[in-house]
Amino acid sequence: MIDHVTLGVHHLEESRHFYEHALAPLGLKVVRNAPELLGFGDDTGRPFFWLALREPTHRVHVAFTAPDRATVDAFHAAALRSGGVDNGPPGLRPHYHENYYGAFVFDADGNNIEAVCHRPE
């Protein structure tokens, strides 16, 4: 099991804006804030997704679990409104499995960020 993931970013404040809005529909928020580091987590307060001001990562794919398809839709819309670039609109991806419902966006550093729900509608 993975405990946490850290992405390097060019501009911490720009990335913060994007991720705060994109991850809000998933119930995630900034729970740790340091001058060159941000930690996102849920209401438990434990960060598991980090952004660090350093050499940016590129082309990393991170998928966040969504509880339902409406949340995937909300993630995608929020991510686009906050500067993300569409890399696959919300929809079924039956080539993964029959109930795989996901949406994909690129962040400012070119990472592929996804929200996915595995439940039937």
CA atoms within 13 A on the CB side of 88: 15
Q: Return the pLDDT at 35.
A: 92
Reported as a single tens digit per residue, the pLDDT across 8-55 is 999 999 999 999 999 999 999 999 999 999 999 999 999 999 999 999
Model confidence at 121: pLDDT above 90: no
Residue 1: which pLDDT band, with cuts at 50, 70 and 90?
A: confident
- Find the CATH number of the domain harbouring 10: 3.10.180.10
Model confidence at 86: pLDDT above 90: yes
Residue 78: which pLDDT band, with cuts at 50, 70 and 90?
A: very high
Range of the domain at 73: 5-117
Burial of 108-119, coded b for 16+ CB within 10 Å and e otherwise, reads bbebebbbbbee
Model confidence at 85: pLDDT above 90: yes
CA triple 112-117-95, angle to 5 deg = 75
Total domains present in the chain: 1
